[in-house]
Amino acid sequence: MSSLNQSLFERLSTLLDPLDPAELHGLLCGLLCADRTLTVDGWLARAAELLDDPDLAESTRDVLSKFFEYGKTQLDDPDCAVTPLLPDDDTPLDQRTEALGRWSQGLLYGLGVSGIAQRTELSAESQEFLRDAADIAQADFDRVEATEADETAYVELVEYLRVGLLLLQHDLDRPSARINPDPEG
């Protein structure tokens, strides 16, 4: 993970305790995938609900606003630079795996509250990705020491989530995947 991500992760961990930065980033990615018109004010309202704090402190609003711009920039990047915000690679694998699960939970929650269930014609690949993300949200690592194979599997899961997010974003941006106003049709 880049040092930019690490400092952002640490700053958010401190400012938003007990909310987890990985889960928050997943939530933001889910919301932005489902609603490309989401504004910073809409994001702040959703974050205030999650934090159960309708009057966010100015410093929290500032960090969340910058976080919104960070996430939006990632998803809008033509080079597909979006990457789940996770702890540094020096963090023990069990903690990184737990954060990966929380990122997936946040993603699924963001998609869920955005009404993705009302979307039509998601590709089979996107549907499979959503099922896999639900499985990853339950991820657990209970070994005392990580092996090189464990580290490789973790890196592959992060990349799978990154690519799956881009695929889902592409599917949701198609006109045929818009919210269907007629649930019968």
| Average pLDDT along the chain | 82
What pLDDT score was predicted for residue 76? 86
**Mean pLDDT score, 133-160:** 87
Q: Is the pLDDT assigned to residue 68 strictly greater than 50? A: yes
Q: Is the pLDDT assigned to residue 2 strictly greater than 50? A: no
Q: Which of 110, 97, 98, 45 is nearest to 71 (CA)?
A: 110
Give, for 96, the enclosing helix (H) or strand (E).
Answer: helix 93-113
Q: How far is CA 52 from CA 31, 41, 111, 128, 156, in A?
A: 18, 16, 20, 33, 35
* Spatial separation of the C-alpha atoms in residues 139 and 185, rounded to whole Å: 37
**pTM here?**
0.84
C-alpha Rg value of the chain to the nearest Å? 16
What pLDDT score was predicted for residue 65? 92
pLDDT-derived band at 114 (thresholds 50, 70, 90) equals confident
* Backbone torsions φ then ψ of 179, nearest 5 degrees: -60, 130
- pLDDT > 90: percent of the chain: 38
* Spatial separation of the C-alpha atoms in residues 84 and 20, rounded to whole Å: 13
Q: Is the pLDDT assigned to residue 128 strictly greater than 90? A: yes
